[in-house]
Amino acid sequence: MEEKKGVERFSISVEPDLVSEFDSIVERLKLNRSKAIQQAMRLFLSEHYWSEIKGESAGAIVVVFDHSIRLAEDELTELQHSFREVINSVLHIHIDERNCLEIIAVRGKAGKVKELTEALEKSKGVKQIRYTIVAIE
Ligand code: NI
């Protein structure tokens, strides 16, 4: 690693397909690789920081699931009941005949919220999960 004018240079190894996909978005956004990598690193830090803390956190979890899969909705409801200490509210949207989207508002111990995100990831019928959680110490 070489230090230069308050910035640090480092090299990384990346699959060529990922690099070309990355570069095309970087070009479209009129950024450069360094700026884009810095944004990605900040996003990575904000996505992981909250789950490392011991204190309180709050945010929203968005889950897309297929309710036509047997017991998927039951499992999700049961899971949410067992995490009621950190779930403040849930908004359910019927996307189409099969798919539903739920926005789960959470507030509580970061460790417990992390447990919930992990359990949702493993839950039956869940296709996608995204979350924005912040530390609120
Ligand atoms: Ni629905």
Looking at the structure, do residues 33 and 66 belong to the same domain, yes or no?
no
Looking at the structure, do residues 83 and 37 belong to the same domain, yes or no?
no
- Rounded distance from Cα 100 to ligand 1 centre (Å): 4
Looking at the structure, do residues 114 and 82 belong to the same domain, yes or no?
yes
- Rounded distance from Cα 71 to ligand 1 centre (Å): 13
Provide the domain limits for residue 59. 54-135
Band of residue 54 on the pLDDT scale cut at 50, 70, 90: confident
From the CB of residue 63, how many other CB atoms can be counted at a distance below 10 Å?
A: 24
Q: What is the mean pLDDT of residues 72-83?
A: 94
- Rounded distance from Cα 112 to ligand 1 centre (Å): 26
- Total structural domains in the chain? 2
What is the predicted pLDDT for the residue at 35?
Answer: 94
- Rounded distance from Cα 99 to ligand 1 centre (Å): 7
Q: Residue 4: inside a domain, yes or no?
A: no
Q: Any idea what the CATH number is for the domain that residue 85 is in?
A: 3.30.70.1150
- Rounded distance from Cα 74 to ligand 1 centre (Å): 12
The residue type found at 134 is V
Looking at the structure, do residues 126 and 71 belong to the same domain, yes or no?
yes
Q: Residue 1: inside a domain, yes or no?
A: no
79 CB-contact burial (10 Å; exposed 0-12 / middle 13-18 / buried 19+): middle
From the CB of residue 87, how many other CB atoms can be counted at a distance below 10 Å?
A: 19
Looking at the structure, do residues 78 and 90 belong to the same domain, yes or no?
yes
What is the predicted pLDDT for the residue at 48?
Answer: 81
Q: Residue 2: inside a domain, yes or no?
A: no
Looking at the structure, do residues 32 and 44 belong to the same domain, yes or no?
yes
- Rounded distance from Cα 78 to ligand 1 centre (Å): 16
CA pair distance 132, 44, nearest whole angstrom:
12
Q: Which residues surround ligand 1, an ion (CB under 5 A)?
A: 94, 100
What is the predicted pLDDT for the residue at 47?
Answer: 79
Higher-confidence position of 2 and 108: 108
